[in-house]
Amino acid sequence: MKKNKGKLFSLLIVLLLVIDQVIKIYIKTHMYLHESIHVTDWCYIFFTENNGMAFGMQIFGKLFLTLFRIIAVAILIWCLYKFVKANLKMGFLLCVSLILTGAVGNIIDSVLYGVIFSESTFSQIATFMPEGGGYAPLLFGKVVDMFYFPLIETEWPAWMPFVGGDHFVFFSPIFNFADSCISVGIVALLICYSKYVNHAFDVLKTKKS
């Protein structure tokens, strides 16, 4: 049973990673930087790249973020291994697998994309394995984002202090499939398994799990 769970979630992670990378590689090799495709008034495919974390946040240096991601993924892989071995609930394992998938998906961009792709610009579409080499060294690649959902776009009322008259967009972050996996995994974990987390930590502390 435990082996079956391990194989199931391994296959799930691989499948989701393939989906993530297929989307990113297609966007990277078919669209100009900041090119936008209008799907509906609240849904756009908008190609952008970022050096930071999920949803385009930029907090620390690029190398630090990439190394941090790699360490975090190594810890998550170890945790998932322990959780599967301890035969924890399928739903909980699914949440952890989604978070792990998203982290690995963005690591692939950060580690490899700078080496295997030419630079995306407003006038040039990137190519795979360019003759002159990639746009950045190993570990310094940019993460490809493309999903943009401006569900509400309006102006703040003029009478509001500080923001009166300013343009307002909800939801403004541009993200990718990997970011979605992380978000869904974390939200589901908090909503459905918040009381189960302590048990999971006990599993990690136990040597024979």
Residue 148: its H or E element: strand 143-148
Tokens found for residue 87: 């035969």
At residue 65, φ and ψ (nearest 5 deg) are -65, -40
d(CA 22, CA 17): 8
Structure-block tokens of residue 93:
């394992």
**What is the CA 84 to chain-centroid distance, rounded?**
23
Determine the Cα–Cα distance for residues 117 and 135; give it in Å rounded to an integer. Answer: 7
Q: Note whether 32 and 49 are within 8 A (CB).
A: no
Catalytic residue IDs = 145, 179
Which residues are CB-contacts of 200 (< 8 A; sequence separation ≥ 6)?
Answer: 79, 83, 88, 92
